[in-house]
Amino acid sequence: MPYRLLIIGFFVQLTVSAIALWLAMKLTKEEGPFLGLFAAAFVASLASLLPIPYFSGLVSFIVLLILISKFTTAEIWPDAALIVVVAWGLAALANYALMMALR
């Protein structure tokens, strides 16, 4: 039972991250498919689960930058970096709102 809840939570957070990436992409006026953003969020989430102390977040950030530049019209610097930073901020706010709503 707890594994099922962890998997559901992972996919809810993944969906929130993909939506935040899509919103950030629209705010920066870039173009790209939502499924590509979902795939980028999925791979970056898997990269953040790597057991590398202190560096898994950095690895996730770099993977997300590369995948965003592949799936969208954004270049790595400054467009993709801005998309990732804005998306992480939006995802953090959305996750906080979800936690408060489920409290």
What is the residue-level pLDDT of the chain in tens, covering all 103 positions? 688 988 888 888 889 889 989 998 998 889 989 999 999 999 998 888 888 888 988 999 999 999 999 998 888 888 899 989 998 888 889 888 988 988 8
Minimal CA–CA distance to 14: which of 94, 80, 72? 94
Q: Up-side HSE of residue 65: CA atoms within 13 Å toward CB?
A: 14
Q: What is residue 9's predicted lDDT score, i.e. its pLDDT?
A: 82
**Domain encompassing residue 39:** 2-102
Minimal CA–CA distance to 92: which of 33, 42, 24? 24
Most distant CA pair in the chain, distance: 43
**Sign of the dihedral defined by the CA atoms of residues 67, 70, 71, 72, in that order:** positive
pTM > 0.75: yes or no: yes
Domain tally, the chain: 1
Q: What is residue 13's predicted lDDT score, i.e. its pLDDT?
A: 84
